[in-house]
């Protein structure tokens, strides 16, 4: 780390609710946010934002005539970004940077426009400008009226943490003092869900588990990934700020050479490298907890755990994940993991996974490691400190 960097605000909209306060309240119970939804005349598990949050998004859509044609992924990003900069007390004149990513982008709109094209042999006027990936950061920048740099990208499921890496790099370079980073995803569409089912990694709706997504259950015999929707935004600022929720103590990244389109090695060498880089000179024994990526797949969960065993050897930190509760939000998942870590640091309370035996968590939390990885073996690890 070349500069001390503070997280001065974090905001989200997800199956947990529409504020970090609502998210923390939801984390206090052992109930998941998963429901079933008819997709192509078949019930599937999904994790949707709650009705009150949907109403907020509806009001946002109606607030500006230009917003009526935007995808949910963009509206989620605008909503969460507004709340984050309000919390951080940023002003448009600060000209802060924006880096918001998405794995799938405007997939809902794209599917609608493409279906219309197949029927009419003609593309609709806004089909291109409202489905480009750059849509997210551009519209957030417009909404917040900042003139700083704005970046959009997709690096599959590690997108949000790569956005954080970019924000760190810009601040370290001296080119920007403040950066809004995060991810947004609205993947609960027929084609997106069908893609995951084709990979045979999606949970089946006829399963009778009390917890349909069995993330971190290393004894499961079948894949149990379930998709969720939402967005989370993080305000980064140079220096140690009085209003800091947490500080970024380290960061790491790595990419594997793939043997298969969706695989990582059995002991997740990419995670071994990213975690080791994030730890730097810190003794691994000083890490109190890890918020794992843990998508709920047999190989994905186990490979990350094996990587943790390799790095932490004799003392594995307390392990947790939120996928069992809110599903896998693809490109937004890393930022929602950051939110969970920040909340645990703030409240000095560990959020456990109810169906697994875990190491006894420490009574006090100082350092929490956050992981994310996606198709392509692109791992990122962020070390947060109180």
Same structural domain for residues 196 and 294? no
Q: Kindly report the average pLDDT of the chain as a whole number.
A: 94
Q: Mean pLDDT throughout 45-72?
A: 97
Say yes or no to pLDDT of 139 above 70: yes
Token digits for 9? Answer: 């605000």
Question: What are the tokens at 249?
Answer: 């103590």
Decide: helix, strand or coil at residue 363.
coil
User: Can you tell me the distance from the alpha carbon of 34 to that of 15, in angstroms, rounded to the nearest whole number?
Assistant: 8
Which of 218, 238, 258 finishes a domain? 238
Domain that holds residue 126: 5-238
- Whether 363 shows a pLDDT value over 90: the answer reads no
CB 369 within 8 A of CB 283: no
In this structure, the answer to whether residues 186 and 105 fall within a common structural domain is yes
Residues 256 and 376 in one domain: yes
For residues 102 and 156, give the distance between their C-alpha atoms in angstroms, rounded to a whole number: 7
Token couple for 297 = 């797949």
The residue among 208, 238, 268 that closes a domain is 238
DSSP annotation string for 91-147: -GGG--EEEEE-SS-SHHHHHHHHHHHHHHSS--TTTTTTTSTTHHHHHHHHHHT--
Q: Report helix, strand or coil for 291.
A: strand
The model's confidence at residue 260, banded by pLDDT at 50, 70 and 90, is: low
Using CB atoms within 10 Å of the CB of residue 380, give its burial: 0 to 12 exposed, 13 to 18 middle, 19+ buried: buried
**Is the pLDDT assigned to residue 259 strictly greater than 80?**
no
12 CA to centre of own chain: 10
Compute, in degrees rounded to 10, the torsion defined by CA atoms 285, 356, 17, 212: 140
Mark residue 32 as left, alpha or beta (left: phi above 0; alpha: psi -120 to 50; beta: remaining): beta
8 A C-beta contact, residue 99 and residue 151: yes
If pLDDT is split at 50, 70 and 90, which confidence band does 97 have?
very high
Answer whether residue 264 shows pLDDT above 80: no
pLDDT for the residue 1 = 53
pLDDT higher than 90, residue 256: no
Task: For residue 15, give both structure tokens.
Answer: 């199956």
pLDDT tops 90 at residue 265:
no
Helix (H, G, I), strand (E, B) or coil at 150: strand
The last residue of one of the domains, among 188, 221, 238, is 238
- Give the pLDDT confidence of 228-246 residue by residue, as tens digits: 999 999 999 999 999 999 9
Within this chain, do residues 72 and 165 fall inside the same structural domain, yes or no? yes
269 and 223, same domain (yes or no):
no
Q: What is the mean pLDDT of residues 113-117?
A: 95
The neighbouring-strand residues paired with 381 are: 252, 371
Assess whether 63 and 140 both reside in one domain.
yes
- Give the pLDDT confidence of 341-357 residue by residue, as tens digits: 999 999 999 999 999 98
Q: Mind listing the pLDDT tens digit for each residue in 5-56?
A: 999 999 999 999 999 999 999 999 999 999 999 998 899 999 999 999 999 9
Question: Is-contact 385 367, C-beta < 8 A?
Answer: yes
Q: Are residues 335 and 198 in the same domain?
A: no
Looking at the fold, whether 183 and 319 belong to one and the same domain comes out as: no
Report pLDDT for 262: 55
Q: Please, what is the angle between helix 107-120 and helix 72-88, to 10°? A: 160
The number of folded domains in the chain is 2
SS3 14: strand
How far is Cα 34 from Cα 267, in angstroms, rounded to an integer? 29
**Two tokens, residue 167:** 């924000």
Task: Name the token pair of 122.
Answer: 């003609």
Which helix H or strand E contains 253, and what residues bound it? strand 246-255
Identify the pLDDT of residue 361: 83
214 and 91, same domain (yes or no): yes
CATH number at residue 331: 3.40.47.10
- 42: Cα within 13 Å, side-chain hemisphere: 11
Same domain, 310 and 289: yes
Residue 108 has pLDDT above 60, yes or no: yes
271 in Cβ contact with 304 (< 8 Å): yes
Same domain, 340 and 213: no
What pLDDT is attached to residue 178?
A: 97
What the block records as the tokens of 120 is 């009419």
d(CA 142, CA 303): 41
Mean pLDDT of 312-338: 95
Same domain, 209 and 181: yes
User: In the prediction, which pLDDT does 120 show?
Assistant: 96
């Amino acid at each position: 780390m070349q500069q001390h960097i503070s997280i001065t605000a974090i905001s989200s909209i997800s199956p947990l609710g529409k504020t970090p306060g609502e998210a923390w309240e939801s984390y206090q119970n052992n109930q998941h946010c998963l429901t079933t939804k008819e997709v192509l005349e078949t019930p599937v598990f999904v994790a949707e934002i709650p009705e009150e949050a949907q109403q907020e998004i509806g009001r946002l859509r109606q607030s500006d005539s230009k917003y009526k044609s935007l995808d949910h992924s963009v509206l989620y990003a605008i909503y969460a970004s507004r709340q984050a900069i309000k919390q951080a007390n940023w002003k448009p004149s600060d000209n802060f940077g924006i880096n918001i990513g998405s794995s799938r982008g405007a997939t809902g709109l794209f599917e609608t426009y493409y279906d219309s094209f197949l029927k009419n042999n003609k593309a609709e006027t806004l089909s291109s400008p409202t489905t480009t990936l750059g849509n997210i950061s551009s519209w957030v920048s417009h909404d917040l009226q900042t003139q700083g740099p704005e970046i959009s990208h997709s690096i599959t499921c590690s997108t949000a943490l790569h956005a954080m890496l970019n924000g760190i790099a810009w601040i370290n370079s001296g080119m920007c003092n403040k950066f809004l980073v995060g991810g947004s995803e609205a993947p609960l569409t027929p084609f997106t869900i069908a893609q995951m089912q084709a990979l045979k990694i999606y949970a089946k709706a006829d399963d009778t588990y009390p917890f349909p997504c069995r993330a971190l259950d290393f004894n499961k015999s079948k894949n149990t990934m379930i998709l969720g929707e939402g967005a989370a935004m993080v305000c980064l600022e140079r220096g140690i700020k009085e209003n800091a929720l947490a500080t970024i103590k380290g960061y790491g990244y790595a990419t594997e050479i793939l043997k298969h389109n969706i695989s990582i090695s059995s002991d997740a060498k990419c995670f071994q490298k990213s975690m080791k880089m994030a730890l730097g000179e810190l003794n691994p024994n000083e890490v109190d907890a890890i918020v794992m990526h843990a998508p709920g797949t047999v190989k994905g969960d186990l490979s990350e755990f094996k990587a943790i065993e390799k790095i932490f050897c004799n003392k594995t930190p307390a392990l947790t994940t939120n996928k069992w509760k809110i599903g896998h939000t693809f490109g937004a998942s890393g930022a929602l993991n950051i939110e969970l870590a920040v909340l645990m640091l703030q409240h000095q309370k560990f959020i456990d996974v109810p169906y697994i035996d875990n190491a006894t968590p420490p009574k006090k939390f100082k350092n929490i490691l956050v992981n994310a990885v996606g198709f392509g073996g692109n791992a990122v690890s962020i070390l947060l400190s109180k």
